[in-house]
Structure 1
């Protein structure tokens, strides 16, 4: 099977070279590499052009750069859709321009995909922490150990929906995407891979899973969406509405999965919200949570979520007590600042005590050396044996 690699870029000059090198290493004759740049102004475009001029791809690989010239609204949705519209191969594989492909793992996954075709194939990945220069496992890594591949489609779909929504860990059959007109939602928001993930999983008739590391996803770099702490996180509630609107009527099983998905993401949100985002986030959360039926909330959700830290927050917002939750967030923020200040003071006191001990030790050493010098001066010289 041939592959359309879709690379999306925006102001990632320090990383794009590594990405392109890795894709060039796995692209084969008949493949195409579609790079969509979303208006970079940091030299990314010039680097891509210089890379292409070197003709680094294997014979028979087509390189299709698309330079939008201006930054589009939202995240990568528009760029990814442009790439999808330009794709012509059997398979679609997305690559973030600041990530890179694991060559051995990707080739193994490609061989599996060729022998076991499906609408989508889930694979595994590792995160690379840019600030710490270290790799780590993603949050859903442990799900692989409990995965049941020999189960009915509905259960496979339910398992797939619990995985992190990122598109670049999947192989997509392009005819499947085109038959269902599956595209990323476009708008003035980020995290658009979440509703795309749900739409793909809900439409798929065959789903494959292969626990092989095929790429490294870069995190904690300057300018990254995952560093969001403000009102952009309210996009999750817009995406929740999109997910619900695309569910079949009376589909309580997937409605329950969607509600759990939302609560899981809220757990990640609330610890990083800025004060300026409290009201906008609380208002959007309240509206979204109220769309979950009472019976589902009070019974099914309460049975699995009630012991989690997000549950009292979600209950308060769902009841409409937005101001009460904002007050709670503000008190928590004050407590956190006080705790941070106390920790800082304790470190200062510890350092001060250590410094005092060092100074006293030095004084004692100096005093001892002074005494020794005085003793040497006061001690009479031994008699000269020659006399």
Structure 2
């Protein structure tokens, strides 16, 4: 078996670290080189990591002053010795066969990397990750994002095993000094790979921190959090455009509007004025490049919200967001048409035409529409 290097950045995760490292030590894939990068921890994390390194010769501890997750991962890659490369965040957990499942896939197919399904972990147990569930419905070997555009949504580093030669050939490195390091590397990796193996089996348990100990993805109401996420999304969009992948760029931009940027749209009622102004400026800059039909195809509630973003109508925007949060906005009829009963539906405002509120088609019709869109996309790539 090829030597697999597992890079584990460590920073102030003492309550979770032992469980994480035990799950790595217990992997059924035994030929491991585990690089623990202590990124200037101020709690017991470094001591816990050193204890594992002393007990298990496969574990090595590298220490550096605090520089952030991206820098710690890059340090780990430079220290890694293996032909294969894997990343694990130090508050998460690996199922016992995770490394073997992914490494076996690329050994069989020759693909540049393998990516697997993910479960969310909290005090109540395990449940599917909504971010990953639609992508990992079934196993597909030797596929590629041009044939399987849903893979544009597979943007996390830690559910994958890479060939080190592929990583080095393209000079991949995580951005440093920012939050959300994964997307600017993972989407280009999907595009530049010759082929990718997509594995339905869950290979990662992604912890949802509870109480006051919140992870980065749980702090979306912070201005820096949004700016770093936006810059990553914008950079990938430009990468696809400059590389000539116009069809992929359209799919990616639409996905960003539906998910990445929409996550921040939902927290605007709790955000300070500075955050709201930055959000409006950045998102309108992005939407200037997105075809209007992308917004037209969104669900009614999201469509109305983005329209108000374009209009910079803050009071109305915040009211619609609050009304949409429960997800149970009723459908009402006006003549022969069906509409979502959101604020201002019947206000007759010139900047909020009623057509924006139209309720979507039935589930069956949505399924056929999605299939048709995918067929057209695949035809355009031939």
For normalisation by structure 2, the TM-score amounts to: 0.74
> Which of these residues, 59, 64, 74, is aligned with residue 60 of structure 2?
64
Displacement after TM superposition at 1:256 (Å): 1.2
3-state SS of 1:103 partner: coil
Could you say which residue in structure 2 is the equivalent of 1:372? none
Could you say which residue in structure 2 is the equivalent of 1:177? 167
Displacement after TM superposition at 1:40 (Å): 1.0
CA separation of 1:88/1:104 partners in 2, compared to 1, >3 Å: closer, same or farther?
Answer: closer
Could you say which residue in structure 2 is the equivalent of 1:290? 285
Alignment of 1:166-315 (within 5 A): 166-187=156-177, 189-221=178-210, 222-228=213-219, 229-231=221-223, 232-249=225-242, 250-263=244-257, 264-273=259-268, 275-292=270-287, 296-299=290-293, 301-305=294-298, 307-315=299-307
For normalisation by structure 1, the TM-score amounts to: 0.73
> Which of these residues, 137, 157, 176, is aligned with residue 145 of structure 1?
137
Could you say which residue in structure 2 is the equivalent of 1:113? 106
CA separation of 1:109/1:148 partners in 2, compared to 1, >3 Å: closer, same or farther?
Answer: closer
CA separation of 1:110/1:251 partners in 2, compared to 1, >3 Å: closer, same or farther?
Answer: closer
Considering fraction of residues, name the structure with more helix. 1
1:249-272: CA deviation from partner (whole Å, max 9, x where unpaired): 453212212212321122222333
Alignment of 1:38-117 (within 5 A): 38-53=39-54, 55-57=55-57, 61=58, 63-68=59-64, 70-73=65-68, 76-117=69-110
Looking at structure 2, the residues matched to 149 and 11 of structure 1 have their Cα atoms a distance apart, in angstroms, of 38
Looking at structure 1, the residues matched to 144 and 35 of structure 2 have their Cα atoms a distance apart, in angstroms, of 35
Displacement after TM superposition at 1:123 (Å): 0.7
Displacement after TM superposition at 1:81 (Å): 1.1
3-state SS of 1:199 partner: helix
CA separation of 1:148/1:137 partners in 2, compared to 1, >3 Å: closer, same or farther?
Answer: same
Could you say which residue in structure 2 is the equivalent of 1:23? 24
1:232-263: CA deviation from partner (whole Å, max 9, x where unpaired): 12222211221133224453212212212321
Looking at structure 2, the residues matched to 207 and 90 of structure 1 have their Cα atoms a distance apart, in angstroms, of 17
Is the Cα–Cα contact under 8 Å of residues 28 and 100 in structure 2 kept in the other structure? no
Is the Cα–Cα contact under 8 Å of residues 290 and 318 in structure 1 kept in the other structure? no
Displacement after TM superposition at 1:48 (Å): 1.4
1:334-364: CA deviation from partner (whole Å, max 9, x where unpaired): 999xxxxxxxxxxxxxxxxxxxxxxxxxxxx
> Which of these residues, 140, 160, 166, is aligned with residue 151 of structure 2?
160
Displacement after TM superposition at 1:223 (Å): 3.4
3-state SS of 2:82 partner: coil
Is the Cα–Cα contact under 8 Å of residues 142 and 195 in structure 2 kept in the other structure? no
1:271-304: CA deviation from partner (whole Å, max 9, x where unpaired): 334644453344344334434456x5223x1353
User: Which consecutive residues of structure 2, in runs of 5 or more, have no partner in the other structure?
Assistant: 326-382
Q: Which has the larger radius of gyration?
A: 1
3-state SS of 1:7 partner: strand
CA separation of 1:149/1:51 partners in 2, compared to 1, >3 Å: closer, same or farther?
Answer: closer
CA separation of 1:246/1:304 partners in 2, compared to 1, >3 Å: closer, same or farther?
Answer: same
Looking at structure 2, the residues matched to 125 and 15 of structure 1 have their Cα atoms a distance apart, in angstroms, of 18
Please report the RMSD computed on the Cα atoms of aligned residues, expressed in angstroms: 2.7
Looking at structure 1, the residues matched to 36 and 14 of structure 2 have their Cα atoms a distance apart, in angstroms, of 14
Is the Cα–Cα contact under 8 Å of residues 2 and 89 in structure 1 kept in the other structure? yes
User: Which consecutive residues of structure 1, in runs of 5 or more, have no partner in the other structure?
Assistant: 337-387
Looking at structure 2, the residues matched to 243 and 170 of structure 1 have their Cα atoms a distance apart, in angstroms, of 19
Q: How many residues align?
A: 317
3-state SS of 1:310 partner: helix
Could you say which residue in structure 2 is the equivalent of 1:369? none
Displacement after TM superposition at 1:217 (Å): 1.2
